[in-house]
Structure 1
Amino acid sequence: MAAKFDRIAADLRHRIESSELQPGDRLPSETALLEEYGVSLGTLRRALDLLEAEQHIERVHGRGTFVRARRTRLERSSARYQWEKNRVPLSEEERLSEGASERDTGLPLERFVFSARYEEAKADEDLADALGVAVGTPLLRRTYRTRVSDESAPFALVVSHLVVSHIEGNPRLMDETAEPWPGGTQHQLSTVGIEVERITDRVIARPATADEAQEFELTPGAPLLVDRKTTFSTDGRAVEVADNKWPADRMALSFETTLEKASR
């Protein structure tokens, strides 16, 4: 049986998600909520703490508790990578017609604000192990932030690492002004003869650090999804390691697996 604070949070969550309570609306006072739900102050505050961590509400000192503005949500599935690969042979005009962010959100290209920063880096032990190279191997570090134009916080922060020796055949791959690149990383790699065969994702959830909470405009300790994505070429090399971060209230991950008949 659900705890009392969970039931209160579920009821208020439903009222917010059904638009009974609109963004910017002030919640009833604690006194009114205590009377409505017939619980202790500690139980009520646990429910409000949960809704605050989920980014449904915001407490403003001296003013009250308010429904937060809804933020763009992404729907990301395992089919995304095949979709990206299918676009590799298309013309630049066709690749420009739709990008991954448009696909994940359903919003048009003009709604996005995108930034990319390229830096030289050296493989530390973690990246050397993930990429199968020696510690100290030259890397290209690419940091991407993407947000919706009428929202101040990004919905995704990606730090990608490529091995310089894999991509130096095309100097444009070292130039951040070429971003956003139509077709993304899979097309970039194709320009130096690398075909992607396999991608692995390892996703964990953890509380946001203070810096991450500031970056994504989250309540400190709010849940964050962190994905280590590793891309492998057809010859078995790890050719990219990308660390993706998404606020948990903005990302839905879905996976579909086709099963073979059970062996006997």
Structure 2
Amino acid sequence: MTSRRHAIAEDLRHRISSGSFKAGGRLPSETQLATHYAVSTATLRSALALLQGEGLVEKIHGKGNFVRRPLRRIMYTGGAAAPAFWTAFSAPLRMTATRTTNIEASSHLTTLLNVPPRSSLTEVLITIHEEKTPHGLAHIYVPQDLTLATPPSPGQAAVRPADLRPPLSKVQERVSARLPTHEEASTLRISPSLAVLSLSRVATDTTGRVIEAFLLVLPGDRADAVFPTRFATGERSSKA
């Protein structure tokens, strides 16, 4: 037997697909919907959570629930094709440095940047948007002695220019899927039950020192990550 929340979700899904609730429009309040369907607010919110997880509805804090406009998927291309993370996306996106803070390295960052405990780091928080739609959240970490005197702007690295430091030797990337934190779900306007792509990118210079690490979070309903393999001229390529 279909549960009440699934029945409500199906009815709302139909009303969205039929145009009764239009893309970008605000849904009736949760109290109004609960009254309409003769259920508790908790049951109504559970039904909305199903639609939020599907990407049909988004909840904006303090404003209500809205029918989500069709989202364009973007692609993050890793490997040699991405000398810097802001050049790695398949679509032009707006990068905004929303916060720059001096911090001490936690145990996690100590391992990630290969620095002594409590080392001084600069943390830059960057939000990534396509028009008004949030597409990602990035935390950049740089040893303070390598940090620019002024915060980085979109398209600019957080570290000093290449002529003031040893050349870059290696960039290591790691990607996984997980559930978002409360901060990530709120900033990206996604359901806490929607998986995100969590990507770490660590840049090392020729002396073996980590000069920059960034942790990027992309909503799983609008992003893909691709890591191409390139072969030297004359080598035979193979297809999986």
Give me the TM-score of the superposition, normalised by structure 2: 0.65
Determine the structure 2 residue equivalent to 1:155: 135
The list of structure 1 runs, each at least 4 consecutive aligned residues, that deviate by more than 4 angstroms after superposition, is 46-51, 259-262
Q: CA deviation at 1:162?
A: 0.8
Match of 2:172 among 157, 182, 200: 200
Determine the structure 2 residue equivalent to 1:124: 106
Per-residue CA distance 1:6-63 (angstroms, 9 max, x = gap): xxx9xx9xx97xxxx973599xxxxxxxxxxxxxxxxxxx99976631313459xxxx
What is the SS of the residue equivalent to 1:236? coil
Structure 1 vs Structure 2 CA RMSD: 4.0
Per-residue CA distance 1:137-171 (angstroms, 9 max, x = gap): 111111111223333xx312111111123x16xxx
Provide the rounded CA distance (Å) in 2 between the counterparts of 1:255 and 1:243: 17
User: Structure 1 stretches of 5 or more lacking a match?
Assistant: 27-45, 60-64, 86-98
1:125-140 to 2 correspondence within 5 Å?
Answer: 125-140=107-122
User: Structure 2 stretches of 5 or more lacking a match?
Assistant: 1-5, 27-45, 60-64
Alpha-carbon contact 1:227-1:245 (below 8 Å) kept: yes
1:1-264 to 2 correspondence within 5 Å?
Answer: 23=23, 52-57=52-57, 67-79=67-79, 81-84=80-83, 100=86, 104-107=89-92, 112=94, 114-151=96-133, 154-165=134-145, 167=146, 173-176=148-151, 179-180=152-153, 182-185=155-158, 188-258=160-230
- Taking a change above 3 Å as real, the CA distance of residues 104 and 191 of structure 1, as seen in their structure-2 partners, is same
What is the SS of the residue equivalent to 1:213? helix
Alpha-carbon contact 1:113-1:148 (below 8 Å) kept: no
Quote the sequence identity (%): 21
Give me the TM-score of the superposition, normalised by structure 1: 0.60
Q: CA deviation at 1:217?
A: 0.7
